[in-house]
Structure 1
């Protein structure tokens, strides 16, 4: 039976804006208060997803969340009609309104952690939505994320859905952005690499001093237990606190893996040699650790260009390719390194560049936009087929974006009650396009 790694990209929501909500994310903070272009952002994401489908990859989409989130605003004390709630929040608590309008669910690398059936004791694909407790604007996502995942992977014979972890700092979980699966073949048992920023229960472990460590060891261990993973298929590795303090808020900003390749910056981890030895031992075979030295690419250049927030994919011909943002082309050191990489004897043979600047300016590159799900043919057939990218869906979603999205949005525009109507109308139509059922609060 053929095995594939599917990518499910998050559709950018109608309220895509630059409110600078993510402390520790340099791009998010530095572009705060600029005008965004939700229509361009959505189309850039769709173009990347369609390009991967055209390369022969299994490519799907995940719906955005309902924003503005009136349900949350009511939970924190605002009352009245929808328009009155928005207007009151804009005057009394504008930061909370901004948080409840965030389109951050577009970065589906943070949506969940996924373990394929080849790794799990019950032989099912397991999903655990990330609780995202470190940031308020993201902590309101998990329940709807779970609904969307259940409507997308909607066959209990093949898919096992868990609730998100307890909403406490002990279990800070940022999803697949801190998780990489290494394997020789997607259908074979692999090694799941869980990268954490700190141990919440051990005060003696290293931790960053400037920016928060969003992923805890305890959360990673809990997900591994929920997913029925054996000890020999897990490696828990700590990210270097010093790079977190330089803006590496998730591990997918400093390393990325695919099959038997781990592409990483030399400053990415603590205890690198010992943990890489553990990976080699548990992989029972060759692993390509591709190290980028600091004198080749600085941490600053890596963060600015998102060199490691790229996707590494295995093409149908067996070659690996890097899917990179055009920002990597525009950074001299990074572009020179990638050109050199293609001359080395590694499995990576191509680099393909895509314009995702609307996402990049808010702190998310190509890898942020996708959730990886390794599946076999039967499991892919069990996915909601309306969410899989093809020519017809690409055309229909572009028309949907043209119909419902603004081409400019400022933070001040978030107080416009008309935005509620526009967003709900768009999402109501999208649920019909993707056949998702009732996944949003306003539909209930």
Structure 2
């Protein structure tokens, strides 16, 4: 392509296009691949914000946009080249959900498709997007999306799981809407290393260490750049706080984060442990993620070490810890606003694969704590099989364990089992974290 045509391709839209490709081809996560692309294309400020919303919003609303595109194209979407489909989805989001003038949304998308695919594909994209532009999103939803799943861009099985977890239909619409709302950036001050007062933003509702950032790049915040504070959802902060707050009988010197990667909760736990003269071991199965934990804990007090180890067969002595956090691998359906691609990547079969792993991890953790010690089990999924199902199975399989109430002062957060906690994005503004506290007799 001639240089003058390359110059016409908007860098922010190019970044969004590259994010969609990475998610589709490499199974990348939007929140992980996007920062590197922003740096590569030297985008900041409004351009970075535009690229972020364009990429994340397009992935969130992909299901609805595909239904609209199906109505505008005279062939199955499976017959449309995937690179062209990525461009069409980006165009839909600009036309239907962003304050981009119609002519700009169409022309810039056509330029992008021309640059990345071909002249013929650009003409096809132009015709399709002109058809899309004839109605607004509400009108299109009325026409092509009569069901809640398509209208809110969630797979039907995910809607069913969330409805069952809520246990009520009157909040389902609010929950699905919250999943599609861009999350605000939340920072955490790590106790003993930073204070909340030195962080810019409004204090979080429930965590005494968090603030909601009004805007800008969190990496430019001095305490974040120095590792004394970090970016962390308030729900994740509350998991670490609850793990540290649970009373234990006797010694309280050795703590373990059994599934510590990438290290955000471990960093807060280590800071809380250091305040009490305790120490934390960070354990993570995958070596590269264990490296991320080491980086997150760099400079922290209260760190006994970081180990790359399988949590189901841990290399620690039985009864050698006083408290253990098990933030288990899960479907992640409680963090769809933050990880929009998860709704399209996960399948119902994943639940059946993950639940036995979660049960084994909790069982290992219970073996690792001494009598009187505690295990906090947490997931960023509200799916009942991963929450109450795991807790019930563990309790039925052991006579040396008792379930105790989680000590968090958060209203309207009753979990599916008495004493457990279930946070919700539409109620609490957090990811849908589940917490259960188990004590070894």
- TM-score, with length taken from structure 2: 0.29
- TM-score, with length taken from structure 1: 0.29
Structure label with greater radius of gyration? 2
Using CA pairs below 8 Å that are at least 6 residues apart, which structure has the higher relative contact order? 1
Greater helix percent: which structure? 2
